Structure 1
Amino acid sequence: MAHPSLKAAFDAKKFIVAPGIFDMISTKVADGMGFPCLYVTGFGTVASHLGVADAGIATYSDMVGRAGAFARTARTPVIADADTGYGGLLNVRHTVLGYEAAGITGIQMEDQEVPKKCGHTPGRRVIPAEDMVLKIKVAAEARRDPNFLIVARTDARTSLGLEEAIRRGHMYGEAGADIVFVESPESEEEMAEICRSIDKPLLANMVEGGRTPVLPVERLKALGYAIAIYPAVGFLAAAKALESAYATLRDTGEPPAESYGFGRICELMGFPEVWEFEKKWAREP
């Protein structure tokens, strides 16, 4: 079941900050931080699960399995990347039903051609807007729970310009998308124009080093965004920490002095409950 709290937050016009999660440890850490929503990043999930680029290689089964595991673990609502819906209209219907059954609260689909590419990398091509409209209509009709949210993303800005991206944003909102995501605006002025032009809850994608300026939350609110996702914040920090820890071990022959702590990670993973279970059911020698 979708979490009703997320739809209620959008209806109440509460600004949503959603960190990216990409594996089970990042899910457990983020879930305890008090965020109203978690975002399953395609880039990070594909990288951590398959060790390859987010370039259309991951399948529906790869992604629904991973995202579903995250959603079952988290108490926090989860929005998950679903690429292009993994095919045609029947695939989109199957994807929505599968993500919803997996316990995910929202699905993000984009209007790229197959194979898709990460939204802040070059070479992306988009399908006709009318084809994406049909996908959104199918997705809206397929969902069984009214609390299940549909995020419609357009990648048209990079290849076709801002005007076309805004036109598509209008169309996708009218087709039934709950949230409109215009990917990769290239300046704060473009972000402001998107917010002035589209009368739907809007998503800002804050990617460190990406094509879009990373703005403070208060500025995003003032522009008119409803939600900001930070898909890369977790895996970039994790990669940096791992690189530093491994370098320390290589160079000194010892692990780093500061870390998350073994006791703390045992608690995060649920070992105290395991130990209590074992104590209760232990057989006398």
Structure 2
Amino acid sequence: MSKTRTRRLREALAGDRAVMAPGVVDAMYARLVAEAGFDAMYMTGAGTSATRLGYPDVGLLTMTEMVDNATRIADASDVPLIADADNGYGGPLNVRRAIQLYERGGVAAVHLEDQVLPKRCGHLAGKQLISAVDMVAKVKAAVDARIDPDFIVIARTDALAVDGRDAAFDRAEMYREAGADVVFIESPGPTDLPLISPRFPGVPLLYNMATSGKTPFLTRTEIEALGFKLIIYPNWLLLSACEAARRTLETLKRDETVADIAPQVMSFKQFFDTARMAEVQELEARYGTPDDHRTTY
């Protein structure tokens, strides 16, 4: 029997190398990550808000919208998915429901943050926190709610930017004691990074390689040396695609033809191959779809 995605992610986190999880916003990005051979992927809340609403990550997406997106992503590949679950969308009972929905949707791990409603991206200014005691209750609710014991609960604190390093470390320690599997201290700078692992020996730590630059753009080896076990790259794929799309639009507007653009983009066949055309064709053949109605390139 093959291992579950939750088990594979948990074993990867226990391995020698830090797990790299590129950020995805939809099923097609999940297919690309699978093709590239990564061991995990990450559903970014900021990217989900941008692609589904055209708005920044300021708490506008609901729990059901986030779960729906995560479920579609998880269904698109067998790569373990780590998902942003914001602040749990309410109190401990809301957290319980969120965990249950994410788990049923095929997600392997989620992270919860200690911000108030409405929350905002961890690399934006103006964050506000709930009490540490209230967050401990949410972490306990999340741990209790999971059915699969391998489902991973990641506790994130945004206290570093709000109340300073000592407060952030104290909160992270409380969340770990409440049962969190992984600790996520948001937005550490160069002077903070060497101090985190010594404070949490043996605890899996998450490194958020956000595009803001507040946390340094280090290599995997450098991050491992600092004691981190999980690295998420939230919006790098989306930003790469947006910049490529902008250049394509500028060229099309200027030249009024796609002739010069065509050699620079994924081919028609590559696109449908990534979208699982081979699987569709196999199913059509299995179920006897007439040859003249089968899907072809």
TM, length-normalised to structure 1: 0.95
What corresponds to 1:158 in structure 2? 161
**What is the CA deviation profile of residues 19-54 of structure 1, one whole-angstrom value per residue up to 9, with x for unaligned ones?**
000112211111211111100000001111121111
Cα distance in 1 for residues equivalent to 2:150 and 2:176: 17
**What is the CA deviation profile of residues 91-142 of structure 1, one whole-angstrom value per residue up to 9, with x for unaligned ones?**
0000111111111000110000110000001000111111101110111111
Secondary structure of residue in 2 paired with 1:212: coil
| 2:269 counterpart letter in structure 1 | G
What corresponds to 2:196 in structure 1? 194
User: Which of 248, 255, 264 in structure 2 is aligned with 1:258?
Assistant: 264
What corresponds to 1:14 in structure 2? 17
What corresponds to 1:270 in structure 2? 276
Cα distance, 1:273 vs structure 2 = 3.9
Cα distance in 1 for residues equivalent to 2:163 and 2:183: 17
Cα distance, 1:277 vs structure 2 = 5.0
| 2:192 counterpart letter in structure 1 | E
Cα distance, 1:173 vs structure 2 = 0.8
Following TM superposition, the consecutive aligned residue runs of length 4 or more in structure 1 with deviations greater than 2 angstroms are 11-14, 270-280
Which has the higher mean CA deviation after the structures are superposed, 255-264 or 122-131? 255-264
Cα distance, 1:278 vs structure 2 = 5.0
User: Which of 68, 81, 84 in structure 2 is aligned with 1:81?
Assistant: 84
User: Which of 120, 135, 149 in structure 2 is aligned with 1:132?
Assistant: 135
Cα distance, 1:275 vs structure 2 = 4.4
Q: Is the 8 A contact 1:2 1:100 kept in 2?
A: no
Gaps of 5+ in 1: none
Cα distance, 1:210 vs structure 2 = 3.4
Cα distance, 1:276 vs structure 2 = 5.3
Q: Is the 8 A contact 1:64 1:98 kept in 2?
A: yes
| Alpha carbons of structure 1 residues 283 and 228: separation in structure 2 relative to 1, 3 Å | closer
Q: Is the 8 A contact 1:113 1:125 kept in 2?
A: yes
**What is the CA deviation profile of residues 191-225 of structure 1, one whole-angstrom value per residue up to 9, with x for unaligned ones?**
11112212311001011233211111111111111
Cα distance in 1 for residues equivalent to 2:26 and 2:252: 24
**What is the CA deviation profile of residues 130-169 of structure 1, one whole-angstrom value per residue up to 9, with x for unaligned ones?**
1101110111111110110001000001110011111111
Cα distance in 2 for residues equivalent to 1:204 and 1:31: 21
Secondary structure of residue in 2 paired with 1:3: helix
Cα distance in 2 for residues equivalent to 1:135 and 1:273: 41
User: Which of 54, 57, 60 in structure 2 is aligned with 1:57?
Assistant: 60
| 1:282 counterpart letter in structure 2 | P
Cα distance in 1 for residues equivalent to 2:205 and 2:55: 30
Gaps of 5+ in 2: none
Is 1:3 aligned to residue 6 of structure 2? yes
Secondary structure of residue in 1 paired with 2:192: helix
What corresponds to 1:114 in structure 2? 117
Cα distance, 1:272 vs structure 2 = 3.8
Cα distance in 1 for residues equivalent to 2:153 and 2:209: 19
TM, length-normalised to structure 2: 0.91
User: Which of 244, 267, 274 in structure 1 is aligned with 2:247?
Assistant: 244
What corresponds to 1:66 in structure 2? 69
Cα distance, 1:252 vs structure 2 = 1.1
| Alpha carbons of structure 1 residues 53 and 142: separation in structure 2 relative to 1, 3 Å | same
Secondary structure of residue in 1 paired with 2:191: helix
Cα distance in 2 for residues equivalent to 1:195 and 1:277: 49
| 2:253 counterpart letter in structure 1 | R
| 2:53 counterpart letter in structure 1 | L
Residues matched between the structures, number: 284
